[in-house]
């Protein structure tokens, strides 16, 4: 499989399983699942060397663990990051005292004014540790880290979820719970 570009494929899978299954005529159910066979067939059409084995390798070895198979392997979904309206049926979880959000300077004024908003995605994404938040921020430039008073938010009635790959999710974070790290 050496000649196939792993990053490119992971991006294609993210695109299909989070944002646009219809691009390759895939059906996604209400919980974000797509038939594994159909996905393999569709991707194979673009990348003839792609097969189930390679998909299994990506799911298993992807550094960010972006995807999961259903128990019997017949279905696959993205663990988080959707813009497609899906209900992942995650259970509410108790957050730690503090969570982190990595962003960049140019968003700061707006964030401090209106809080963290989910934009196109289904949730605001928060990180458990500084290092991860830094990586998330670095995707857009020089990272700026915000701390989120997650426990306090929860006490005030906000609900938190944690995805299968360890990303903390919530609907929005009002500015009073945010601080510059």
With binding defined as CB under 6 A, does residue 20 bind ligand HQG? no
**Burial of 35 per CB tally in 10 Å (0-12, 13-18, 19+):** middle
CB-based contact 160:93 (threshold 8 Å)? yes
Residue 18's nearest CA partner among 91, 166, 120 is 120
**Residue 167 binds to ligand HQG (criterion: CB under 6 A):** yes
CB-wise, 151 or 166, nearer to ligand HQG?
166
- If one asks whether residue 143 binds ligand HQG (CB under 6 A), the answer comes out as no
Nearer to ligand HQG, 44 or 108 (CB): 108
How is the beta sheet containing 168-170 ordered, strand by strand? 124-126, 168-170, 160-162
Binding positions for ligand HQG, 65-124, rule CB under 6 A: 66, 81, 103, 107, 110-111, 114, 116-117, 119, 121
| Member of 59, 140, 152, 166 binding ligand HQG (CB under 6 A) | 140
**What is the dihedral sign for C-alpha 20, 122, 167, 136?**
positive
Residues lying near ligand HQG in the complex (CB under 6 A) are found at: 64, 66, 81, 103, 107, 110-111, 114, 116-117, 119, 121, 125, 136, 140, 167
């Amino acid at each position: 499989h050496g000649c196939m570009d792993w990053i490119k494929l992971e991006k294609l899978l993210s695109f299909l399983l989070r944002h646009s299954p219809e691009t390759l005529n895939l059906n996604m159910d209400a919980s974000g699942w797509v038939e594994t066979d159909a996905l393999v067939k569709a991707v194979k059409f673009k990348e003839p060397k792609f097969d189930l084995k390679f998909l299994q390798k990506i799911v298993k070895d992807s550094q960010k663990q972006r995807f999961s198979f259903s128990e019997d392997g017949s279905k696959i979904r993205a663990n988080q990051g959707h813009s497609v309206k899906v209900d992942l049926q995650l259970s509410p979880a108790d957050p730690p005292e503090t969570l982190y959000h990595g962003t960049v300077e140019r968003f700061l004024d707006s964030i401090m004014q209106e809080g963290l908003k989910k934009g196109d995605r289904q949730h605001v994404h928060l990180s458990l540790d500084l290092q991860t938040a830094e990586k998330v921020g670095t995707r857009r430039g020089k990272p700026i880290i915000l701390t989120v008073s997650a426990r306090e938010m929860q006490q005030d009635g906000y609900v938190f979820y944690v995805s299968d790959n360890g990303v903390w999710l919530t609907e929005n974070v009002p500015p009073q719970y945010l601080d510059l790290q």
